Amino acid sequence: MTKSEVVNEISERTGVEKAVVQETVESFFKIVKGSLIKGENVYFRGFGSFVVQRRAQKIARNISKNTQITIPAHNIPKFKPAKTFVEKVKAQ
């Protein structure tokens, strides 16, 4: 399902104009992204959590040049679904 399909579905279910739903969805994404960039996790009870995960520094190999490079420690965004959400998906 794409973002436009989600917007259409919400618009049909709620009767709200697509433009308003589109702006709401975009605002939601901006807020979640902004929070993760600041290092703050976002929690939705019964759905899941958007969390910032720290990756440690590691050594990697460039096989074509046969050299080693150091990948510095960095943060990555991660989605962690709620247990009830996982159980419902597994039941399908």
Which ranges in 1-92 belong to alpha helices (H)?
3-14, 18-37, 83-91
Q: How many domains does the chain have?
A: 1
Residue 92: what pLDDT?
A: 82
- Find the CATH number of the domain harbouring 81: 4.10.520.10
Spatial separation of the C-alpha atoms in residues 25 and 15, rounded to whole Å? 15
Range of the domain at 70: 3-91
- Give this prediction's pTM: 0.79
Share the mean pLDDT of the chain: 95
Spacing of C-alpha 44 from chain mean position: 12
Instruction: Extract the tokens encoding 59.
Output: 């050594």
Q: What is the pLDDT of residues 31-48, one digit of tens each?
A: 999 999 999 999 999 999
